[in-house]
Structure 1
């Protein structure tokens, strides 16, 4: 990881793929990832970890299925939300968005249990950030 400051806008400008997070840095055993998103992700669950979302630009909807039933939270630029471990969720951004995700290193982008993965969703534990 870099020992220099990282501009998140530059990090986002370094790739075009949607639903394909880049690891910008690590904090202890956690990745700080940025991603461009558009359309729907998929319903999935992280059995053993919470997942923290911070919207950097645009609007992100997160569908949730839990003991409270099914609902959607809407996050606008600057808003943060934590999906607790074990909660089924489905991020979506009909008009596109960019986000920062904070989760343990090695966490799979499609969770531990999930629906069928669409071709445009990258099944990854995050890609290294490449800077020019």
Structure 2
């Protein structure tokens, strides 16, 4: 049993994470960042939940780049093969649920 105060979490580096759970190969991690990630495609599906802050999410569909702004409480679901990159606008805390070992 653990209670996690996500707004108090801060990693020592961008995209640093606190591992919360690994359930049958699916991980749940709390990330802190103030820097963009990198363009990537996950090994499986990904659920990306903005817990604190604002994140510009860029993604590609059929080679065309799209952008959306995710506010606190918004959820981005990346299906298998969705190429995407997250650009926080200042500090952000993000809950990510994905296959263990995924990029």
Mapped pair 1:12 → 2:12: no
C-alpha distance in structure 2 between counterparts of 1:104 and 1:68, whole Å: 24
Alignment check: 8 A CA contact 1:63 1:91 kept: yes
Q: Distance in 1 between matches of 2:33 and 2:88?
A: 6
**Residue 79 of structure 2 aligns with which residue?**
84
Are the equivalent residues in 2 in contact too, given 1:37–1:92 (CA < 8 A)? Answer: no
Unaligned runs of 5+ in 1: 109-132
Where do 1:26-37 residues align within 5 Å? 26-37=22-33
Q: How does 1:17-56 map to 2 (within 5 A)?
A: 17-46=13-42, 48-56=43-51
Q: Judging changes above 3 Å, is the alpha-carbon distance between structure 1 residues 20 and 26 closer, same or farther for their aligned structure 2 residues?
A: same
**Structure-2-length-normalised TM-score:** 0.86
Structure of larger gyration radius: 1
* Residue 72 (str. 1) matches residue 84 (str. 2): no
5+ residue gaps, structure 2: none
How does 1:100-115 map onto structure 2 within 5 Å?
Answer: 100-108=95-103
Q: For the residues of structure 1 that align with 2:19 and 2:6, how far apart are their CA atoms?
A: 14
How many residue pairs match? The answer is 103
Please tell me the root mean square deviation across aligned C-alpha atoms, in Å.
Answer: 1.9
CA distance in 1 between counterparts of 2:26 and 2:15 reads 19
